[in-house]
Structure 1
Amino acid sequence: MSPRKPASEELTREMIIKEARTQFVDKEFQKVSMRNIAKQLGCSHGAIYYHFKNKAELFYGIVEEDFAKLNRLVEVTVQGSEDDETKLRQIFLRFIEFGLNHQSQYEIMFMKRNSEVDSLSQQAAFHSYQKFAEAVHSLAKKNLAIKDVWSAFISLHGFVAYYRGYVNCFEEAKLPAEGHVEFVLKGLLS
């Protein structure tokens, strides 16, 4: 058994999530174990179970945290002082920026599939998509069909998926991202 951490280094939920995120990015869900996460953190695996009842709940904690960050970007943009079309453009660009600046998180959020956690992660994804759709509906000058908002979302996701791994950050794809967003806006608002 690993020696207990000193009080100044008590195990926190954030420490567990950080280590688990690293492992989930590097390995498939089935190959990540609570024991190995604990080993990397220098604690007993029982200490992790104090914070998370199982590996699926830990995975969901990671996904939920990442979607909360993305949701805050949408909320902050909607509350801005710019005109509605500018806010809509910014939401689309910030979605792409989030995906390309946080590629490992984006992959866990939108691209990793596992039957043990799909229902949990899909709840967070659906809630995030609802926030996105509500923002798009509120900012568009016309009544949009659900399929149009979904198509815009999938188009942005496709852009991130295409550039993920080929660029290190948003700045490296900023020009094509801006062009893509203008293309999506033109289709959505015309």
Structure 2
Amino acid sequence: MSPRKPSTKDLTKEMIINEAHKQFITKDFHQVSMRSIAKEVGCSHGAIYYHFKNKAEIFYAILGDYFSELNNTLDETVNGPGDNNTKLLNVFVGYMAFGLNNQSQYELMFMMRDSEVDGLSQEAANLSYQKFAQSVQFLSKTELLLSDIHSTFIALHGFVAHYRHYVKNYEEVKEAVDVHAKFLVKALI
């Protein structure tokens, strides 16, 4: 006897998102389909449309969770204990640690380009960057140029991009992360 497929009532957004998340990390965006998600969840692909209008909407829900996690890390650092220079250092370390500990997610957030989802993912990335820029400016002792903040962000992004797929996580390059973060703080103050 084959296992019962979940009905539309049994099927939850969380089930769909969890399966889609697995597939987006292991496959290219275009290799994932509503049918492939449905097959793994054990329902008809039509049942997924009850919760999401298309694959891009599922992808955006996943990205939203990633950006929330990154933004929460930023908020916790800025509002946490310590002087502003220490917090600024921790913002930079936290950003690189997030990227290195979540390499597949980071790629989806900042490195994947696809016309089907670019508008949605760029909006989330831009909002996250604005939060980063405001936090850096808030923690700085002086008024920074927007170009300085942007260059700092690109330096952090470049660090993560350079080490992705060469290390498993942040711990493997912790010393290099600390050196890079200190260099960036020194450049800004």
Identify whether the pair has TM-score above 0.5, normalized to the shorter chain: yes
Cα distance, 1:53 vs structure 2: 0.8
Verify the 8 A CA contact 2:96 2:177 in the aligned structure 1: yes
Report the Cα distance in structure 1 between the residues aligned to 2:14 and 2:180, rounded to whole angstroms. 35
* Unaligned ranges ≥5, structure 1: none
Instruction: Map Cα deviations across residues 117-150 of structure 1 (whole Å, 9 max, x no partner).
Output: 1011000000000110110010000000111001
Per the alignment, in what secondary structure is the counterpart of residue 143 of structure 2?
coil
Give aligned pairs, total.
187
| Corresponding residue of 1:153 | 153
Pair 1:57 & 2:47 matched: no
Deviations 1:26-80 (A, max 9, x none): 2222221001011011111122212211011111111111001000000111111
- For residue 114 of structure 2, what is the amino acid of its counterpart? N
Q: Encode CA deviations 1:1-44: one digit per residue, 9 max, x unaligned.
A: x843289x932222212211221222222221001011011111
Unpaired stretches in structure 2, ≥5 consecutive residues: none
Identity %: 55
Aligned to 1:37: 37
Q: Which residue of 2 aligns with 1:95?
A: 95
SS class of match (2:50):
helix
SS in 2 for 1:51: coil
| Structure 1 residues 100-111: aligned runs within 5 Å | 100-111=100-111
CA distance in 2 between partners of 1:65 and 1:160 (Å):
20
Instruction: Provide the residue aligned with 1:5 in structure 2.
Output: 6
Does the aligned pair in 1 maintain the 2:7–2:43 contact within 8 Å? no
Alignment of 1:40-189 (within 5 A): 40-189=40-189
TM-score, with structure 2 as normaliser: 0.94
* SS of alignment partner, residue 179 of structure 2: helix
Query: Would you say the 8 A contact 2:93–2:178 is kept in 1?
Result: yes
Instruction: Give the distance between the partners of 2:125 and 2:184, measured in 1 at CA.
Output: 21
Moved more, 40-49 or 120-129: 40-49
Off by >4 Å, runs of 4+ in structure 1: none
**Alpha-carbon separation, structure 1, partners of 2:21 and 2:6:** 21
The two structures, once aligned, show a CA RMSD in angstroms of: 1.7
Report the Cα distance in structure 1 between the residues aligned to 2:129 and 2:183, rounded to whole angstroms.
Answer: 20
CA distance in 2, matches of 1:116, 1:27: 16
CA distance in 2, matches of 1:177, 1:84: 19
CA distance in 1, matches of 2:168, 2:4: 38
Instruction: Supply the distance in 1 between the matched residues of 2:10 and 2:77 (Cα, whole angstroms).
Output: 36
Displacement of 1:187 in angstroms is: 1.1
